[in-house]
Amino acid sequence: MKKELQYIFGPVNSSRIGKSLGIDVIPKKICSLDCIYCEVGITRNLSTQIKPYFKAEAILAEFSSVYHEIKDSIDVVTITGSGEPTLNSCLKDVLIGIRDIVKGEKEIAILTNTTTLDNKDVYKTLLDFDIVVPSLDAVTKTAFEKINKPAKEISINNIINCLIAFSNEYTGKLYLEVLLAKNINDLPEDINTLISVLKKINYTRLDIGTIIRPPSHSFAVSLTNKELEEVKSYIASQGVSFSKDKSVDDNLNNNTIINYSSSSSVVQGKNVAIEKLIPILKMRPTTLEDIIKTLKIDPVIADEILTPLLQSGEIISKEFNGVLYYQHKIIKQL
């Protein structure tokens, strides 16, 4: 990309929805939840207030300026971002504008934490997306409060009822996500109550994963692969289906940012690489391997780029589960 973009990021190679161009429609980090595993950092403004945080015109102007350059490199346009996207009251206008620009060439997806589904406007707008990816990590008040740390006015029972109703009315692809943290929402009573709710949700696909990047709260611990597989096997043994859509790869939680540039642009100056790297590291902690793949640079150049950024304090490195990640200083963790 020729300049640092404010709303558009990626593309990201998502195992769930394919090659996705992200649109961030909410300022960092305004959210109705403060999930302990959040990759974007701690929630600075815990709020359920729906208002025009970013104007649709500004988002669409930026999207329009990059879409035609990269459209052949993506499968889907995804509204997501640095907080809960449905808190932006301009969401419907953004969706209509994107549809106008992509002219049916791409599916349009949204990631949501489902806390605003009781708002009629949000509910109706979400019905118009091709793909909705809601998250539901816990269904008991205790576990919900422990893992998602919601704004005080949010009721988990309300979320569950709205999500069930939405899933039965929605005709697009509903990819439900559950994230488990060790000893937080993976206890037998949590899983059993979750199963009873999952059976009532009419999803296309169910993804159950655990924490893979440095979390916003340092006490959040991921399940081991073995523990995760055991939980998934148990859930399946209780009659819960994971996928009714076999067209999607079954790998979980493996998002990689990809470069949409043509091979002719592989050779690039360090300044250009830094311009591309900074927005990526503002979005989420990223490994050296992903940085090298994304920027199409060799490890020596990567080191030459990262070292001064680390020394100046603009970025920091952090180890999680034995893997080293780099992230921008604006991602705040506890």
Q: Specify the residue, 33 or 206, whose C-beta has the smaller distance to ligand SF4.
A: 33
CA dihedral (177, 14, 272, 94) positive or negative: negative
Among 54, 67, 84, 277, binds ligand SF4 (CB under 6 A): 84
- Of the candidate spans 26-34, 51-59, 167-175, 280-288, the one that interacts with ligand SF4 by CB under 6 A turns out to be 26-34
Q: Classify residue 330 by its DSSP letter.
A: T
Q: 143: part of which helix (H) or strand (E)? A: helix 141-148
| Residue entry with tokens 């504008």 | 97
Binding flag, residue 306, ligand SF4 (CB under 6 A): no
State in angstroms the smallest separation of the CB of 62 from ligand SF4: 21
Binding flag, residue 207, ligand SF4 (CB under 6 A): no
Among 12, 21, 25, 33, binds ligand SF4 (CB under 6 A): 33
Distance of CA 46 to the CA centre of its chain: 18
Tokens of 251: 């790998």
151: number of Cβ within 10 Å: 17
Q: 3-state class of 118 per DSSP?
A: coil
- Of the candidate spans 35-43, 93-101, 116-124, 170-178, the one that interacts with ligand SF4 by CB under 6 A turns out to be 35-43
Q: Specify the residue, 158 or 268, whose C-beta has the smaller distance to ligand SF4.
A: 158
Binding flag, residue 31, ligand SF4 (CB under 6 A): yes
Among 43, 48, 210, 286, binds ligand SF4 (CB under 6 A): 43
The CA dihedral of 236, 241, 246, 247, to the nearest 10 degrees, is -110
Binding flag, residue 186, ligand SF4 (CB under 6 A): no
Binding flag, residue 113, ligand SF4 (CB under 6 A): yes
Residues 79 and 8: their CA atoms lie apart, in Å, by 9
Size of the site for ligand SF4 (CB under 6 A): 10
State in angstroms the smallest separation of the CB of 40 from ligand SF4: 5
**Apex 201 CA angle, 197 and 202, nearest 5:** 160
Binding flag, residue 331, ligand SF4 (CB under 6 A): no
81: left (phi over 0), alpha (psi -120 to 50) or beta: left
Residues of this chain that interact with ligand SF4 (CB under 6 A) are 31, 33-35, 38, 40, 43, 83-84, 113
